Chain A
């Protein structure tokens, strides 16, 4: 879960907040930065979904992945994004100072609120953000109703 790291610029709690942020950063890294309260965990990848009249647009933050590392498929009205994150840290001959990036397999499914045309789905990947556009079926698109003036 992407979190805004609120660092108040000034005030009596600013230094305390900075100190706490520093401690949390050094131990947990970005994804566990508390915002107001302690978070117990997060799902991966962080995902945004938007809906227009024609389609759903799903975006996932997947820094460091290439299309070959990802599987994106639509089954019924469900979109699944899965894949695996490999570590870039060499196995041997290395002194590790800090390891904050997560690795391993992941799979996340998003159920869309209406029927979709899986064949028309398009996925692009840029700057570590996956964007999937899933068109709605024709029947699911809102239809404008002509209002005729009565006589």
Chain B
């Protein structure tokens, strides 16, 4: 069974172009007999900032943070910043992309794809769990 791999960053389709700089979400990918599951970490991303598309078996995850709230005071330690998340995966053709399900909880996106033959591309609605 083919491994969903990261696609090269250059892609022709504009909506799949990555931003100039971005965070890569740490992602677990595993499959059972019935489905493929991807679990991607995007802390700080809310449902209205999340875009998940599948086209030509390329899955693109984009997470855009909301406007940063005005923060007061002096910074003593800064190890993380808000920023855009982006990742693209080449999916094997074995999954029914029409029936994909997506959920976002505490900054973690979980996508499940049942196995079937390849269908037409569509935009996926993300449910808030």
A-side residues, CB < 8 A to B, are 1-7, 9, 18, 21-22, 25-26, 29-31, 33, 43, 46-53, 56-57, 59, 61-66, 87-90, 93-102, 110, 113, 125, 127-129
Contacts and interface: CB of A to CB of B under 8 A. Distances in A.
Given A48-B79, A98-B3, A64 B107 contact: yes
A143 to B, nearest CB: 17
A6 to B, nearest CB: 5
Contacts of A57: 73
B5 A101 contact: no
Interface of B: 1, 3-6, 8-10, 18, 20-33, 39, 41-46, 71-81, 83, 105-108, 110
Contacts of B33: 93
A4 B23 contact: yes
Contacts of B79: 1-2, 43, 46-48
Chain A interface main SS type:
loop
B106 A97 contact: no
A116 to B, nearest CB: 13
Nearest to A95: B31
Given A2-B23, A50-B71, A64 B32 contact: no
Contacts of A30: 23-26, 41
A20 B34 CA distance: 34
Contacts of A50: 71-76
Contact of B78 (A21, A43, A48, A90): A48
Contact of A61 (B3, B9, B44): B44
B26 A127 contact: no
Nearest to B22: A5
Contacts of B80: 1-2, 46-48, 59, 61
A12 to B, nearest CB: 15
